[in-house]
Amino acid sequence: MNFWTKAAGLILRNRYVVLLVIAICTAFLASQMKYMKFSYSEANLLPENHEANIQYNQFLKVFGEEGNLILLGIKDTTLFTPKKLEAWNSLTKELDKAEEIEFTVSIADVQKLEVDRKNRKFVLEPLIEQSPKTQNEVDKIRKDLFENLPFYDNLLYNKNTGTVQSAIYIKKDIVNTPQRRDYIFDVLIPTIEKFEKDNDLNVRVSGMPYIRTLNSQNIQDEILLFVLGALGITAIIFYFFFRSYRATFITLSVVMIGVVWAFGFIGLFQYEITVLTALIPPLIIVIGVPNAVFLINKYQQEVKKHGNQAKSLQRVISKVGNATLMTNITTASGFATFVFVKSQLLREFGIIASINIVCIFILALMIIPIIYSFMPLPKKKHLNHLEKKWIENVVNWMEKMVRHNRITIYISTVIIIIFGIIGIYQIRVSGSLIEDMPKGKDFYKDIKFFETEFGGIMPLEILVNTKKENGVMKLSTLKKMEKINEVIEQFPELSKPISVVNLVKYSKQAYYKGNPKYYQLPTSQEQSHIFAFTKNSDGNAKMLNNFVDSTGQYARITTFMKDVGTDKMDDIQNRLQAIIDKEFDADTYEVTLTGKALVFLKGTNYLIKNLIISLSLAILLIAIFMAWMFRSYQMILISILPNILPLLITAGLMGFLGIPIKPSTILVFSIAFGISVDDTIHFLAKYRQELQANNWKITRSVYSALRETGVSMFYTSIVLFFGFLVFTISSFGGTIALGGLVSVTLLFAMVSNLLLLPSLLLSFEKKISNQKVFKEPSIKILPPKEEKP
């Protein structure tokens, strides 16, 4: 009596105990769901010790969180009327009252830098001393702002288009907490909506805290959509194949328990719900249903053979147990390879996915036979699907192709390989923070608005370390920083930079009675006079704190970047680095490029390098499984090719359709490979069983295996195809691409395993025609074929 026969007896004899244990585990994991938390920061794709992370953390240590800015923008000429300008200024003041806000900057907060020659200092005077009552007063404010205060150009206004913006700085200690979400949904959005309604103005809102909050909410909303969508589509397909309400109900019960376990494990490990971990519950549904297909199909085949329920249930576990275990392990292995990637985002996804794939197998293997044991035998109408004419026609067509058109299959394979290789060379890499965001949402349109009007919303920082106190305020340092500013302004992808240089220029303008033509760095002769006034100025010192640290050793240059890909970003980075290397002597200065946008872009490139390692590891692991299961090296080579071919097709399609490699689409290859190998295992397991039953006659065994496994493989592939297709209803571009690409890959994998794999077995018949190739395996996937009773 083998292991699975004993396991079958144990499960069926103790069915009440097994159900109780499952119920207790489900209740425990359901209780852990309260510990689930949603991500409130961008995914860090790099390991902590990566140079880019070290540099970024150094910047945060000096200047604190840089992603705490929310922007409000208006492009409307009617804004500059007394009533609407007053309402706009009041809006910012009202938002500033919230405890979550550090400070705000709007037209109402604009301070003109004036010179007080008597006390030898600069003073800050408000641009708007009292609310303007007439249009002439408003026009004067507008002229002062747009023509006489270049310091605020691209900070608060765009002088070319007349667009105005206000800046709201969230407190840095809450910017990555749920408190940020509460403020945005409970205070910011309702306040802005009321302002828009009262004043008939359209306010654009953006900034990384706002974008991340709405994006996170979108992920939460889509989890339910995915789960319901996956349940709905798989239930419909399952019922279409089996025409049995109870089989459909049993399957849905299993996968719904699997979904609870998936959420429970996320809570138990206290992982964040990210755009990737949000995919796991529906993924468990999609992967769990094929388990039910094999188990229920086997049960119904056994019932049809001999009509003995106890024997049928025992054989479901004992005969299909090994095969389904191996297929689930290979699928889990595809996901588990992400555990070896140093990215925390992918590692968490890999851990949760692989654990839950094994769990859904255990649940299906236990629950399905047990529930059927309480039910009467299936009626004849429930078994009719086993003899459907159209399914038989599909299997006949596959057999005909393998028998008579192997040359066509091989020519098609070569064409596909060529197509895939050509497509691979056309694949581009994308490291955009916002490319996957929902294009139809208002907040995405607002991102594009701020890109057009102010040059972007993703901060790119340059940290200048002068290596000595007050080194920033040396004129030589300021001139070097000005050179960098000039280069930044040449890039259409970057906004005008803001730094201490702008403030020093503003100081010179103020020194010369506010004349905007003096908005420039002082000469060496002017420096001592102007800086003497600066030292005595309290207001000026407060403005200085935003750009220079308290010791005067560090300075920052901030620019904002549009949504650019890795190629363009590499070009920008290289050109900026070239000017940095030219202007700043490495012995005297330490200058680093950093910022969230740059860290994310570097993270994407890092993942691309790890993709090959991850996929190679998946192929190696599955090859080892094949070697262990079949003890045949020839079979490893024959079985791997039909599963690499679909990946080539997918890569080729990505190249030709312009779908870039990015963190979301990177997953396609390992996921698809891990799942597609399942069909290979089922086919080869049945093939080996047929070999033993047919006295090692390969041709007869291939066709017998094809006919017997073809139906189940077809069923499961269709379920997987439509199951992954559910992800295309997402509003996230990366999730849509993931769903579509995995679906297409698995469809090609089915065709490849049912046409190319048997063709290869027949073509290499002479090399594998003796029993030595198939040594006794370490594990019997299927038991020896039994005679019909």
Pairwise CA distance, residues 250 & 371, whole Å = 8
Q: Give me the pLDDT at residue 771, please.
A: 46
144-179 burial string, b = 16+ CB within 10 Å, else e?
ebbebbbbbbbbbbbeeebbbbbbbbbbeebbbeeb
| DSSP string of 333-368, one letter each residue | HHHHGGGGSS-HHHHHHHHHHHHHHHHHHHHHHHHH
Q: Judge if 1-34+218-384 and 388-425+631-789 fold alike in CATH terms.
A: yes
Pairwise CA distance, residues 590 & 485, whole Å = 17
Closest CA to 116 of 536, 628, 564, 725: 536
Q: Give me the pLDDT at residue 40, please.
A: 60
CA distances from 207 to 116, 253, 463 (A): 37, 43, 21
Closest CA to 503 of 541, 477, 469, 468: 541
Q: Which two tokens stand for residue 531?
A: 């800086």
Pairwise CA distance, residues 478 & 504, whole Å = 9
List, run by run, the mean pLDDT of 10-residue segments along the chain (789 residues).
75 90 94 80 71 87 79 91 90 88 84 80 80 88 88 86 89 81 90 92 89 80 82 83 81 91 92 80 83 81 78 78 76 79 79 92 89 79 62 80 87 90 84 70 85 83 90 90 90 88 88 88 81 61 72 90 76 87 89 84 75 75 71 74 86 87 75 78 76 75 80 80 85 80 87 86 66 49 47
**Any idea which residue has 């570097």 for tokens?**
602
Pairwise CA distance, residues 789 & 305, whole Å = 8
The residues, any chain, with a CB within 8 Å of residue 387's CB and separated by 6 or more, are none
Q: Which fold has domain 1-34+218-384?
A: Multidrug efflux transporter AcrB transmembrane fold (1.20.1640)
End-to-end CA distance of the chain: 19
pLDDT in tens, 307-343: 787 887 888 787 777 777 777 887 887 788 778 777 7
Q: Give me the pLDDT at residue 380, please.
A: 65
| DSSP string of 232-301, one letter each residue | HHHHHHHHHHH--HHHHHHHHHHHHHHHHHHHHHHHHTT-EE-TTGGGHHHHHHHHHHHHHHHHHHHHHH
Pairwise CA distance, residues 762 & 766, whole Å = 9
**Any idea which residue has 């003096």 for tokens?**
518
- Looking from the CA of 475 toward its CB, the CA atoms found within 13 Å total 13
Judge contact between 457 and 451, C-beta under 8 A: yes
- Looking from the CA of 549 toward its CB, the CA atoms found within 13 Å total 20
Dihedral angle over CA of 368, 371, 377, 380, nearest 10: -50
Categorise residue 103: left if φ over 0, alpha if ψ from -120 to 50, beta otherwise: beta
Q: Give me the pLDDT at residue 196, please.
A: 92
CA 440, 444, 446, 452 dihedral sign is negative
| DSSP string of 716-752, one letter each residue | HHHHHHHHHHGGGGSSSHHHHHHHHHHHHHHHHHHHI
Closest CA to 270 of 539, 73, 35: 35
Judge contact between 547 and 556, C-beta under 8 A: yes
The angle formed by the CA atoms of residues 299, 305 and 311, to the nearest 5 degrees, is 55
Closest CA to 127 of 109, 103, 114: 109
Q: Give me the pLDDT at residue 630, please.
A: 63
Residues in the chain: 789
Q: Which two tokens stand for residue 97?
A: 């009252």
Q: Enter the DSSP assignment of 376.
A: P
Pairwise CA distance, residues 400 & 394, whole Å = 10
Question: What pTM was estimated for this model as a whole?
Answer: 0.74
Pairwise CA distance, residues 537 & 512, whole Å = 16
Count the neighbouring beta carbons within 10 Å of the beta carbon of residue 327. 28
Pairwise CA distance, residues 655 & 346, whole Å = 23
Element (H, E) at 113: strand 111-116
The angle formed by the CA atoms of residues 329, 330 and 335, to the nearest 5 degrees, is 95
The residues, any chain, with a CB within 8 Å of residue 240's CB and separated by 6 or more, are none
Provide φ and ψ at 120, rounded to 5°.
50, 55
- CATH 1.10.645.10 for domain 388-425+631-789, yes or no, is no
Largest CA distance in the chain: 113
Q: What percent of the chain has pLDDT over 70?
A: 89
Q: Residue type at 38?
A: F
Count the neighbouring beta carbons within 10 Å of the beta carbon of residue 264. 23
Q: Give me the pLDDT at residue 787, please.
A: 41
The residues, any chain, with a CB within 8 Å of residue 782's CB and separated by 6 or more, are 319, 322, 323, 685, 686, 688, 689
Q: Is 778 exposed, middle or buried (0-12, 13-18, 19+ CB in 10 A)?
A: exposed
Q: Helix 596-630 and helix 566-583: axis angle, to 10°?
A: 130
Judge contact between 169 and 69, C-beta under 8 A: yes
Q: Give me the pLDDT at residue 789, please.
A: 36
Pairwise CA distance, residues 624 & 633, whole Å = 10
Pairwise CA distance, residues 40 & 508, whole Å = 42
Closest CA to 669 of 325, 223, 225, 341: 341
554-561: strand order across its sheet: 554-561, 458-465, 590-594
Residue spans of the domains in the chain: they are: 1-34+218-384, 388-425+631-789
